[in-house]
């Protein structure tokens, strides 16, 4: 069988630093970890592609926590920057999947690279692989990682390997611990490894200088992680009880009998946040949908929110929210009511009691579960402006950097830092409505 290389595939890639080390690594588990913009994912994707070109009948896998996030990010990079020439020449073709096989990319030499989200892992868990890549690996649970690792037994390569790429998270994250215990190898990626941003002499390219300016503007734990590449915990963290392995849950079909709620925190230059919460029969709250966006008018956001809940015919797609709990701005509330076609109720905004109530819900109860969860992939769409500025794009991304403000002179903190707290405010409104002031009655508009 001819190899794909016999068809003159053109691959242009300059691995540097950790990326170069990756191409030589034969460790069973390897993580590319470092600041944002160092080319970690690109290195892993190129390794997959080149391995497939050189090895007939090998089988690879690209995966993320959810299929939606994979398609909107990783696979865009894969098709535009890695396999574009091979696609154009017909060396690689897309395969949409079948009843037995996962979707993915098929090479003319018989190599295959499947794609999947761990929210729908059925087909990949019945397959066998030689080389797999988990992007944004900090989103994965240890169970996800170990489950995929059991599929490395295809035997077409003399070595089998599991690759992951990630920005640093908290020092207690399972990836950091796994590498520290010698169960996996961590390759530390730096900005100098990315030729698109840093020239060979160490100077920034024009694009790199602009990108680094955005990272330099970050503050707190996000700067430590995304600019400096440090596995850091935020100092003065308000919700240290929050544990991604415990409080983040995979998407599920919310039972129709569960009570629904909405909370809204208005903004424009700062994000407007619309949150949808479901309450189970035991009183647990699940944040299952979220709009988190800057520079949109309240009336446009209200229309978007209504379309998510109501068919054009006027029939509801899901149970109506029992209450729409809002920030107190009278003009914005009136506009929201008009276009959402629902009444609203003012939020209970006392900060300290609300934070304490939220903290209480994060604690694991006697049944081994907390009383508040965030559903992965709850975000309706990512705000490109926030994303490019490396700012939080969802409540999930806010919570690990939500800290107390320290008064001048270093006195004890009393209030949260008013920065990247918009989802936190909306979440506090929800908990306060349930735990501090009871159920709020909704006023319907005729």
Domain that holds residue 264: 244-435
Task: Give pLDDT, residue 438.
Answer: 55
- Predicted confidence at residue 77, as pLDDT, reads 95
Same domain, residue pair 210 and 248: no
**Residue 228 maps to a domain:** no
Specify the number of domains making up the chain.
2
166/41 Cα distance (integer angstroms): 8
232 falls within a domain:
no
What is residue 425's predicted lDDT score, i.e. its pLDDT? 97
My answer on whether 277 and 384 are in the same domain is yes
| 226, part of any domain | no
Rounded Cα gap, residues 137 and 446, in angstroms: 49
182 lies in the same domain as 111: yes
CATH number of the domain within which 133 lies? 3.40.50.300
Instruction: Say if residue 117 is in the same domain as residue 265.
Output: no
This prediction's pTM: 0.74
Q: Residue 308's domain is classified under what CATH number?
A: 3.30.420.280
- Token pair 């190599």 in the structure block, residue: 111
Q: Would you say residue 196 lies in a domain?
A: yes
Domain membership flag for residue 236 = no
Strand partners, 67: none
Query: pLDDT tens, position by position, for the chain (446 residues)?
Result: 334 444 566 778 889 999 999 999 999 999 999 999 999 999 999 999 999 999 999 999 999 998 888 998 999 999 999 999 999 999 999 999 998 899 999 999 999 999 999 988 999 999 999 999 999 999 998 999 999 999 999 999 999 999 999 999 988 889 999 999 899 999 999 999 999 999 989 999 999 999 999 999 998 888 999 999 999 888 888 998 998 778 988 889 999 999 999 999 999 999 999 999 999 999 999 999 999 999 999 999 999 999 999 999 999 999 999 999 999 888 999 999 999 999 999 999 999 999 999 999 999 998 889 999 999 889 999 999 998 888 999 999 999 889 998 765 555 557 898 999 999 999 999 999 999 975 444 444 44
CA gap 301, 414 in Å, rounded: 33
Token pair of 385 as six digits = 């402006």
User: If 0-12 CB within 10 Å is exposed, 13-18 middle and 19+ buried, where does residue 444 land?
Assistant: exposed
- Asked if residue 346 belongs to a domain, the reply is yes
Considering the domain architecture, whether residues 198 and 299 belong to the same structural domain is answered as no
Same domain, 315 and 392: yes
120 and 182: one domain? yes
Whether residues 210 and 265 share a domain: the answer is no
Do 291 and 196 belong to one domain?
no
Q: In this structure, is residue 220 part of a structural domain?
A: no
First to last CA, the chain: 71
Last residue of a domain, one of 214, 229, 257: 214
Residues 163 and 291 in one domain: no
- The verdict on 323 and 198 lying in the same domain is no
Q: Is residue 440 part of a domain?
A: no
> Mind spelling out the 3-state secondary structure of the chain?
CCCHHHHCCCCCCCCCHHHHHHHHCCCCEEEEECCCCCCHHHHHHHHHHHHHHHCCCCEEEEEECCHHHHHHHHHHHHHHHHCHHHHHHCCEEEECCCCCCCCEEEECCCCEEEEEECCCCCCHHHCCECEEEECCHHHCCHHHHHHHHCCECCCCCCCCEEEEEECCCCCCCHHHHHHHCCCCEEEECCHHHCCCCECCCCCECHHHHHHHHHHHCCCHHHHHHHHCCCCCCCCCECCCCCCHHHHEECCCCCCCCCEEEEEEECCCCCCEEEEEEEECCCCCEEEEEEEEECCCCHHHHHHHHHHHHECCCCCECCCCCCCEEECCCHHHHHHHHHHHCCCCEECCCCHHHHHHHHHHHHCCCCCCCCCEEEECCCECCCCHHHHHCCCCCCHHHHHCCCEECCECCCECCCCECCCCCHHHHHHHHHHHHHHCCCCCCCCCCC
Q: Based on the fold, state whether residues 252 and 208 are members of the same structural domain.
A: no
């Amino acid at each position: 069988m001819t190899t794909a290389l016999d068809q003159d595939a053109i691959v242009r890639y300059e691995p540097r630093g950790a990326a170069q080390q990756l191409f030589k690594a034969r460790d069973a588990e390897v993580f590319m970890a470092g600041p944002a913009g160092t080319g970690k994912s690109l290195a892993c994707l190129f390794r997959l592609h080149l391995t497939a070109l050189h090895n007939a009948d090998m089988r690879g896998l690209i995966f993320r926590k959810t299929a939606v996030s994979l398609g909107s990010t990783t696979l865009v990079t894969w098709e535009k920057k890695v396999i574009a020439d091979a696609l154009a020449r017909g060396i690689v073709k897309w395969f949409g999947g079948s009843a037995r096989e996962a979707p993915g990319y098929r090479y003319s030499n018989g190599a295959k690279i499947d794609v999947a989200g761990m929210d729908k892992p059925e087909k990949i868990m019945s397959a066998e692989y030689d080389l797999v890549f988990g992007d944004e690996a900090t989103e994965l649970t240890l169970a996800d990682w170990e489950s995929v690792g059991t599929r490395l037994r295809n035997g077409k390569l003399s070595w089998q390997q599991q690759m992951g790429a990630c920005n640093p998270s908290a020092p207690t994250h399972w990836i950091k611990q796994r590498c520290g215990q010698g169960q996996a190898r961590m390759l530390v990626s730096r900005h100098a490894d990315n030729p698109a941003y840093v020239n060979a002499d160490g100077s920034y390219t024009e694009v790199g200088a602009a990108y680094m300016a955005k990272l330099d503007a970050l503050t707190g734990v996000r700067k430590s992680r995304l600019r400096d590449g440090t596995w850091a915990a935020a100092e003065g963290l308000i919700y240290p009880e929050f544990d991604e392995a415990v409080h983040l849950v995979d998407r599920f079909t919310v039972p129709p009998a569960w009570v629904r709620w909405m909370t809204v925190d208005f903004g424009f230059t700062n994000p407007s946040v619309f949150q949808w919460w479901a309450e189970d029969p035991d009183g647990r709250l699940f944040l299952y949908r979220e709009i988190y966006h800057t520079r949109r008018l309240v009336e446009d956001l209200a229309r978007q929110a209504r379309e998510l809940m109501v068919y054009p015919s006027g029939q509801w797609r899901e149970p109506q929210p029992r209450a729409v709990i809002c920030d107190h701005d009278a003009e914005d509330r009136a506009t929201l009511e008009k276009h959402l076609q629902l009444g609203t109720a003012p939020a209970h905004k006392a900060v300290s009691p609300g934070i304490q109530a939220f903290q209480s819900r994060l604690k694991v109860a006697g049944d081994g579960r907390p009383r508040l969860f965030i559903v992965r992939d709850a975000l309706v769409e990512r705000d490109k402006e926030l994303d490019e500025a490396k700012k939080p794009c969802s409540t999930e991304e806010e919570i690990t950097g939500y800290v107390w403000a320290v008064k001048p002179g270093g006195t004890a903190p009393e209030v949260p830092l008013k920065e990247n707290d918009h989802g936190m405010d909306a979440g506090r409104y929800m908990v306060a409505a349930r735990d501090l002031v009871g159920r709020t009655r909704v006023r319907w508009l005729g």
